[in-house]
Amino acid sequence: MIASLLGVLFDGLAYGMLLFLISVGLSVTLGLMNFVNLAHGAFGMLGGYLGALAMARWNVPFLAALPLAFVMAALAGLLFERLLFRRFYRRSHLDQVLLTIGLTFMAIAAATFLFGPQQQALGLPEYLSGQFSVLGVDLNRYRMFLLAVGVVLTVALTLVVERTRFGAAVRAAVDNPRVAEALGIRVGLVFQIAFATGCGVAGLGGALGAEVLGLDPVFPLKYMVYFLLVVAVGGASTLKGPLYAALLLGVADVAGKYYIPQVGAFIIYAMMVVLLILRPQGLISRS
Amino acid sequence: MMPALRTSGLGKHFGGVRAVTGVSLALARGARHAVIGPNGAGKTTLINLLTGMLAPSEGDVYLDEDRVTGLRPDQRVKRGLARTFQINNLFPDLTVMQSMLLAACEQRGVAIDPWRPVSSCRDEMTAAHAILRLLHLDGAEDAVVRQLPYGDQRLVEIALALACKPRVLLLDEPAAGVPKAESQALFRAIAGLPEGVTVLFVEHDMDIVFRFAQRITVLVSGAILTEGAPEDIARDPTVKQVYLGSR
Amino acid sequence: MSIAAPARTWAGRFPWEESAFWLLLAAGFWLWPKHLALASQVLIAGLFALSYDLILGYAGILSLGHAAYYGLGAYAAGLLATHRWGEPLSGLLAGACCAGLAGFLTSFLVVRGQDLTRLMVTSAIGLLLFELANRMANITGGVDGLSGMEMAPLLGAFRFDIYGRTAYGYCLIVTFVVFLGVRRMVHSPFGWSLRGMRDNPSRMLALGYPVQRRLIAVYTVSAAIAGVAGALLAQTTQFVSIDVFSFSRSADVMVMLIVGGAGVLYGGLVGAAVFTLAYHYLSALNPVYWQFWLGAFLIAIVLFGRGGVLGAFERISRYLRERRRAPAAQP
């Protein structure tokens, strides 16, 4: 009993960590630029497909495909930010939704055209598949890897935001963009870098998540609710909020599907309702 | 006599920051009461606490001795408490009359009617027109708010608040941003406010404060420093120190 | 004392363009007798888009799950018909009530959040219903849909014929009646207050408006109308499948409204016509192409074509009016 409980907890945390990685960019974009980017999942998908392509066509090893996914997704994010998104920071949320839904449709269609509608497998290396026995509990090696990568990235992100000058600039820009600009902080550049990083991390998450979440052309829409949930419940002004929300969501989803398979898929909806009623402004918010 | 607006020990803190502490005020009916203080003294927080936009951490607000703490802003408006905003918070794409109608229809309970065409709301239009005339805005009825000069927009702020038929009116820095050339109209408007309405105004502009206030409360770092008649406040050395720094 | 309003009509009367529009639609029996079924689909989509306009165009609620109420209306009417209750008007009423009730119950979650929360909640509601309908495939028929729907004659006299004449007349009259009601509402104090709440909710609160309660009211009405559209769909096509709950349905109605023009009453109908006809004639294409170009089109609209078709008409007519005035201004 305990073993399965630990196993579920472990799986749920890994899953939640993955959701966090993909959603953190959405949270940053919303908190920093007040930009609703429903196409965020598409950057995750881009990372996933590029990773798969690299491994299948160019024989890039798995551990090298991951940073590749990060870089390509970040570059794509940079490109879109400069060409398109920055014109929309002052436009209504409706316009942003229309833009990003349009982009999502185009991305899905392009992915279907290029890769076909079936799920892509990334192909895990030997040393990451299979189980690992810890204290009598069989833990999936890949999930452990996910957790490890997630923890490292989260710590890195937190350190950047809290200890570096760039992080301070980000925090200042979130608080009050005009004053920040007046203080000499190049808010536009800060946004660009933050956005690109968010997309890069999402791309990495997409590549990492291909095994766990499944990578197919409808990925951006399939998981859109999850990403929105993480940001709506976790709030858009901190890193910790979406992290806790994502972990909670991950554990609840996995636990629900394991213990009550009949209604397991609906657990997250119930959770969403409860959380919204209790905390309409999100789990962790600044007053 | 029952005070029109009263607070007892009103306070608000955000985490470690104490924005407002232990504010107790009592305004008699028809009073003209000013709240002054340096920037960051908590004046706008106080207004937000009075209107219900913020929930207090401690203390209560009473309207005509009815406890309204915990009521939503719109509920307090229905009980006779209206406000203006420090930065114009209007409907930029509507005309002045259209904006006033929004206020008048809700005040008269007509705004839930989904059947009557707005063009037939004659009574509401008359009521709106009367207020606009009071503020000398009746020439601008059909002007789109966005195109009005800033001073006139400030007047529309006051007109909208008056359209709610308040017993207590909170003016949040009515002169803020109004160029000197347009301030006459503003003075006229404040002077012309109905006598029965109790007015609490937060202001930086000492012209307005000393011209209209019967009593002044000085707020510093969220707490009341002193309170009294304008002449006394003008002579008070502690007030001078707060504004001018110690010598 | 003038109440002339720039760029908006206050009137309760019908200007000639509107009468012409409806007369044109009524003449459809003679103008497009071979395409009445398609025309019915346009009207149904238009009604759905009208319901969506109420919450998005007028009240400013961003929703990506309005198909939930459309689907509930469709299934209410559909299930009645499969269980031997084929009377159309009561099925319509059932659809409206089911959807309206669901709208009311879910509105509490939707009205209280900001834009992102509303997007999340509404998508979740749509997905939830889709999942539910999928699970209960024994009742809903799953992807294959309901079978055995039999409609009784409308008002006891008009049988649903294979040319779609009864269906067209039915859809036209229902759409017209609902339209009249919405039109009335939009020009009423309540309708005006919706726009106020969309543009400046904090100001409305400061004017004494119980903003959340009014939004709950309009959301419920909108859901009920979406339910009527869904019921019409079920009854005229005699088929419902769980696709009515799909995200595509919700996204499509958003596209229709934006294409036609949001917040101007007729935008939904116009956009529905454009979208449905385009889909019908282009559906022979590879669906991947459709999705790609739909996405591109959406981006183009948002970049260049604010206000959709009706917005463009408005700009053109304003430009023409100005051109006509300009020569007189020259010395």
Distance of CA B31 to the CA centre of its chain: 13
Number of other residues whose CB lies within 10 A of the CB of residue C143? 11
Residues of C in contact with A228 (CB under 8 A): 116, 119-120, 123
Taking 70 as the threshold, does the pLDDT of residue C328 lie above it? no
Number of other residues whose CB lies within 10 A of the CB of residue A284? 18
User: In the complex, which subunits touch B with 3 or more CB pairs below 8 angstroms?
Assistant: C
Mean of all residue pLDDT scores within chain A:
86
Residues of C near A (Cβ–Cβ under 8 Å) read 56, 62, 64, 109, 112-113, 115-117, 119-121, 123-124, 127-128, 131-132, 247, 251, 254, 258, 262, 288-289, 291-292, 294-299, 301-303
CA distance C222 to chain A (A): 18
pLDDT tens, residue by residue, C158-211: 888 888 888 999 999 999 999 999 999 999 999 999 999 999 999 999 999 999
Q: Which residue has the higher pLDDT, B243 or A50?
A: A50
User: In the complex, which subunits touch A with 3 or more CB pairs below 8 angstroms?
Assistant: C
Contact C122, C69 (CB under 8 A): no
Q: Which residue has the higher pLDDT, C328 or A225?
A: A225
Residues of C in contact with A36 (CB under 8 A): 115-116, 119
The residue behind tokens 């012409």 is: C20
| Chain C contact for A99 (CB, 8 A cutoff) | yes
Which two tokens mark B54? 């913020």
Q: What angle do CA A275, A278, A279 make, to 5 degrees?
A: 80
- Model confidence at C329, pLDDT cuts 50, 70, 90, reads low
- Model confidence at C304, pLDDT cuts 50, 70, 90, reads confident
Contact C94, C76 (CB under 8 A): yes
- What are the DSSP calls for C278-317, one per residue? HHHHHTTS-HHHHHHHHHHHHHHHHHH-TTHHHHHHHHHH
Determine what percent of chain C is predicted with pLDDT higher than 90.
60
Taking 50 as the threshold, does the pLDDT of residue A216 lie above it? yes
In angstroms, the CA B103 to CA C86 distance is 48
Chain B: residue nearest C218 by CA? B114
C28-42, C135-149, C201-215: segment of lowest average pLDDT: C135-149
Determine what percent of chain A is predicted with pLDDT higher than 90.
34
pLDDT tens, residue by residue, B4-54: 999 999 999 887 888 898 899 999 999 999 999 888 778 889 999 999 999
CA distance A171 to chain C (A): 21
In angstroms, the CA A281 to CA B116 distance is 37
Using CA atoms, how far residue A172 sits from A32, B166, B223, C93, in Å, is 10, 40, 28, 55
Taking 90 as the threshold, does the pLDDT of residue C68 lie above it? yes
Q: What angle do CA C6, C10, C11 make, to 5 degrees?
A: 125
- Model confidence at C5, pLDDT cuts 50, 70, 90, reads very low
Number of other residues whose CB lies within 10 A of the CB of residue C201? 15
Q: What ipTM goes with this model?
A: 0.90
User: In the complex, which subunits touch C with 3 or more CB pairs below 8 angstroms?
Assistant: A, B
Average pLDDT over every residue of B132-146:
89
- Estimate the share of chain A in helix, then strand, then coil, as percent rounded to the nearest 5: 75, 5, 20
First to last CA, chain C: 33
Tell me, what's the pLDDT at C95?
96
Residues of A in contact with C123 (CB under 8 A): 224-225, 228
**Alpha-carbon torsion, ordered A122, A127, A132, A134, to 10 deg:** -120
Task: Give chain C's length.
Answer: 331
Note the pTM of the prediction, 2 decimals: 0.91
- Model confidence at B245, pLDDT cuts 50, 70, 90, reads low
Chain C: residue nearest B133 by CA? C1
